[in-house]
C-alpha cells in the first residue's frame, strides 16, 4: 500500500533552516509529482510547491521562491523540503502529498498525504 512517512517534530531557532524528509513506499516514486503543503496552527492549508522525482524539476509557490528548496533521493524513494531563514510565521505542520495523476503526468491535486511534520520556530 502507498505510504508517505514523515518525521514527527523539528524545533528550530529564527534564522535557521529546516530540511523535512518524506519517505515513500508502495508505489513507483519516480512516477508521481510530490507536493508540499503546510498548515499553521489553527489555520488553513497552504501549497508550497512540487518536485518531479524523475527529473528533479520543481515549481515553487511565489511566496516561497528564494527560500524553499525541494529535492529527492531516488535511491531511497525520499523527497525533501528545505526552508531557510525561518521565522515564527513558519511554525506549522508540513505535509508531503502525492500528486493524484496516475503515471507520468500532473493533476495538481493530492491522493495520498504524509502524516505531517510539526516545525516549531522559537528562540
Partner 1 sequence: SYELTQPPSVSVSPGQTARITCSGDALPKQYAFWYQQKPGQAPVVVIYKDSERPSGIPERFSGSSSGTTVTLTIRGVQAEDEADYYCQSADSSGTYVVFGGGTKLTVL
Residues at the interface with partner 1 (CB under 8 A): 35, 37, 44-47, 50, 59, 61-62, 95, 97, 100, 107-111, 113-116
The least CB distance from residue 104 to partner 1, in Å, is: 17
Q: Is 37 or 86 the residue whose CB approaches partner 1 more closely?
A: 37
Rg (CA), the chain: 14
Nearer to partner 1, 35 or 72 (CB): 35
Cβ-contact 7, 32 below 8 angstroms: no
In this structure, the strands spanning 3-6 and 18-25 are antiparallel
Q: Which is nearer to partner 1, 84 or 106 (CB)?
A: 106
DSSP 8-state symbol, 40:
-
Maximum distance among all Cα pairs of the chain, rounded to whole angstroms: 44
Whether the Cβ atoms of residue 4 and residue 22 lie closer than 8 Å to each other = yes
Cβ-based nearer residue to partner 1, 48 or 86: 48
Residue 11: CB atoms within 10 A of its CB come to: 12
Minimum separation from the CB atom of position 123 to partner 1 (A)? 27
Amino acid at each position: 500500500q502507498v505510504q508517505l512517512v514523515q518525521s514527527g517534530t523539528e524545533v528550530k531557532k529564527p534564522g535557521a533552516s529546516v530540511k523535512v524528509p518524506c519517505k515513500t513506499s508502495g508505489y513507483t516514486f519516480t512516477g508521481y509529482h510530490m507536493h508540499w503543503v503546510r498548515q499553521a496552527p489553527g489555520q488553513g492549508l497552504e501549497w508550497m510547491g512540487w518536485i518531479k522525482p524523475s527529473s528533479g524539476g520543481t515549481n515553487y509557490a511565489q511566496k516561497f521562491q528564494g527560500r524553499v528548496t525541494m529535492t529527492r533521493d531516488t535511491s531511497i524513494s525520499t523527497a525533501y523540503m528545505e526552508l531557510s531563514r525561518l521565522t515564527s510565521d513558519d511554525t506549522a505542520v508540513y505535509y508531503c502529498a502525492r500528486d493524484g495523476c496516475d503515471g507520468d503526468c500532473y493533476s495538481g491535486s493530492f491522493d495520498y498525504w504524509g502524516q505531517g511534520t510539526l516545525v516549531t520556530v522559537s528562540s
